[in-house]
Structures are given as structure tokens and as C-alpha cells.
């Protein structure tokens, strides 16, 4: 997975000799022998504390978005304390305490686009992802700031990009704005200058906040589509206990069927453009896949990676090739 981007550092092993007379007497040691003690200086060891928003549910209930995101951030912060006695690696426990890192992610991007009547390759999809993830970022940071008011900022806050305001500067988060995400709905007003001031005053509870994981299994359970990926197929069968279970993409109907192009049919450059817009609002990373067919040329693959790098993506995940079995005409057309 390539969504977790946090500080890591090695654990240093330091060895000291216990050779003086007073030490031997204190511990009742043989004075004719030399003893040593090993001390470890713990390094940073990252832990994943993850949860994901169902994007369609979020957009369908935009007025409740602040409360929903606040509840998820609070829940993830609670996980850090609840797991302290259950993590066997001391460095992981200490790093959890130091940064209180969480990763609020998303799933169901293609499901959301299809039900909103937006084609994957429309420029509107790129605009939509930019505005949606800015809202998510705003409410996530706000929720962490409010937790800091209540419980205190994370220990390493002083001198961080959150403390200096550099985090907001790098992303152009200034002034207040009203975002009209869905046509015929009221706009949502956010105020970055106010939030920046509150963060400077109270801090944030979590040093890292957002990361988009693959979450293929949880998205199926929630009757949605995986992460930020296009669908693999409109329908597929899984073998379970000797029988075939057919799964169909959510809300498939005569209107959405044309919006559900598969991962091997959509433009990968359009996918990269969307993720460039998304990455700006995510402090960590995104598990972002590229999908290629047997006809994809090496120069095209290089172009994809260069575009992703030049656009500021922190990484890509898998490059998934199309099997001969799946190399077929448009499912919708059939």
C-alpha cells in the first residue's frame, strides 16, 4: 500500500559497561567480572489507524458531513489510546503517542460519479474531485483542531507545518469561500483563514490525518466501489464454498450503465488528472493504480508515470495488466 507517508527512523542500540565498584555492590555482582547493559533509543515506527468515508453517502447527506467526519476523526483518535496495551512493539506505541497519526480515507468514487451522471473522463470529474476533497480536508482538520481544544495537541506539534502555517500556505488554503458541489443545492461556506488561526491557537490532535487506502473488501460490504479506482467489471462472479456468487456494481440501471466504463476502458491520463487534484488535499498519500491493456506501449506507460510525478503525486501503487479473458468489447454495448 502507498497511502501512508510518515516519519520513520531507526532504533539505535547503545551498550554501556558496568565496571565500577559501586555498581557491583549495588547489584550484588561479582567484582572480578565486567558487565554491560544494552539500552535502545527508540526510533519512529509507523502504525496504520485507518477508516474510510463512503463518498456517495457523504454527498447525499452533505449537511451532515461536518458531524460525520468529526465522529470518524474522534473514533480514530480513540483507537490510538485503546490499542496502547495491545501493540507488542514498543516503538510503535511511542510513535503513536508522539504523532497520534490517523488516516481518514474514502471509497466509492466511481459509484458517486455514476449516480451523479458524470463521465469518468469529463473535466467536470476533475473539478468535482477537487472541490469534494477540499471539503473533506477542511472538516477533517477542523475536527482534529476541536479535539486538540478538548484533549491537547499531539506532542510533536510545536515547530511542525501545522504550527507554522506552512501546511496551509503550500496548498493555497486562504480566505473563505462557498463551494457549490451539486447543482440546485445550497453552497457550503468554509473559512480557511479562521481555521488556520484556530490551529495556531489550539493545535491539532493528529500530526497526520488523511490517506486513501485500497479498501476493496470494505467497499463491497458497503455496496459501493473500491477506493478511488474505476470499476474492474460491471458484473463478476466469485466462487464461495462451491457455488458462484454474482456481484453487480451498485445502482446499475439504464442511466448509470453508460457511466460505468471499466478500468481498462477509461483514460489513464484522466485518472491521473483526478488524482493530482485529490493529492493537494491529502497530507499523506493515495493508493492509486494504473490499468494497461495489451496494446499499451512503453512510451505511453512512461508518459503516465511522468505526468503523475510532474503533477505532484507522491506515488503510484500497482500497474495492473488486462488479462486476455477480460479483453473484450464494451460491456454496456453488449
Lookup: cell for 35: 558487565
Q: C-alpha angle with apex 238: 235 to 243, nearest 5 degrees?
A: 125
How much is the CA Rg of the chain, to the nearest whole Å? 24
CA-nearest of 264, 271, 272 to 296 is 264
Listed by start position, the domains of the chain span 50-202
Distance CA 125, CA 170 (A): 23
Q: Is 121 exposed, middle or buried (0-12, 13-18, 19+ CB in 10 A)?
A: middle
Distance CA 276, CA 16 (A): 51
Which residue(s) pair with 320 in the sheet? 291
Distance CA 42, CA 47 (A): 15
User: In tens digits, what is the pLDDT along the chain, a chain of 334 residues?
Assistant: 689 999 899 999 887 776 676 777 777 878 778 877 788 889 999 988 999 999 999 999 999 999 999 999 999 999 999 998 899 999 999 999 999 999 999 999 999 999 999 999 999 999 999 999 999 999 999 999 999 999 999 999 999 999 999 999 999 999 999 999 988 888 999 999 999 999 999 999 999 999 999 988 889 889 999 999 999 999 988 777 778 878 899 999 999 999 999 999 999 999 999 999 999 999 999 999 999 999 999 999 999 999 999 999 999 999 999 875 666 555 555 5
Place of cell 500497474: 319
Distance CA 131, CA 187 (A): 11
**15, containing H or E segment:** strand 12-18
Distance CA 249, CA 265 (A): 16
Amino acid at each position: 500500500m502507498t497511502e501512508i507517508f510518515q516519519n520513520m527512523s531507526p532504533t539505535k542500540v547503545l551498550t554501556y559497561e558496568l565496571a565500577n565498584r559501586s555498581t557491583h555492590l549495588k547489584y550484588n555482582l561479582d567484582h572480578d567480572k565486567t558487565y554491560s547493559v544494552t539500552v535502545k533509543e527508540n526510533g519512529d515506527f509507523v502504525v496504520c489507524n485507518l477508516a474510510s468515508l463512503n463518498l456517495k453517502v457523504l454527498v447525499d447527506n452533505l449537511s451532515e458531513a461536518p458531524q460525520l467526519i468529526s465522529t470518524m476523526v474522534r473514533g480514530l483518535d480513540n483507537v490510538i489510546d485503546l490499542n496502547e496495551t495491545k501493540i507488542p512493539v514498543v516503538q510503535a506505541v511511542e510513535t503513536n503517542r508522539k504523532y497520534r497519526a490517523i488516516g481518514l480515507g474514502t471509497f466509492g468514487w466511481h459509484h458517486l460519479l455514476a449516480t451523479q451522471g458524470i463521465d469518468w473522463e469529463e473535466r467536470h470529474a476533475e473539478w468535482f474531485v477537487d472541490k469534494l476533497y477540499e471539503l473533506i480536508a477542511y472538516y477533517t482538520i477542523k475536527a482534529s483542531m476541536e479535539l486538540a481544544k478538548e484533549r491537547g495537541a499531539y506532542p510533536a506539534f510545536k515547530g511542525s507545518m501545522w504550527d507554522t502555517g506552512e501546511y496551509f500556505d503550500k496548498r493555497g488554503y486562504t480566505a473563505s469561500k462557498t463551494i457549490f458541489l451539486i447543482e440546485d443545492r445550497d453552497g457550503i461556506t468554509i473559512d480557511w483563514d479562521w481555521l488556520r488561526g484556530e490551529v495556531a491557537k489550539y493545535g491539532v490532535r493528529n500530526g497526520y490525518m488523511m490517506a486513501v487506502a485500497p479498501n476493496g473488501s470494505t467497499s463491497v460490504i458497503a455496496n459501493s466501489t473500491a477506493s478511488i479506482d474505476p470499476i474492474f467489471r460491471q458484473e463478476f462472479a466469485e466462487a464461495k464454498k462451491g457455488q458462484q456468487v454474482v456481484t453487480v456494481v451498485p445502482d446499475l440501471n439504464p442511466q448509470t450503465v453508460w457511466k460505468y466504463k471499466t478500468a481498462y476502458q477509461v483514460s489513464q491520463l484522466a485518472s491521473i488528472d483526478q488524482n493530482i487534484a485529490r493529492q493537494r488535499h491529502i497530507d499523506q498519500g493515495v493508493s492509486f493504480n494504473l490499468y494497461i491493456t495489451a496494446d499499451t506501449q512503453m512510451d505511453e506507460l512512461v508518459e503516465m508515470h511522468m505526468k503523475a510525478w510532474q503533477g505532484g503525486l507522491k506515488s503510484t501503487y500497482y500497474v495492473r495488466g488486462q488479462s486476455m479473458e477480460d479483453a473484450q468489447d464494451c460491456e454496456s454495448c453488449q
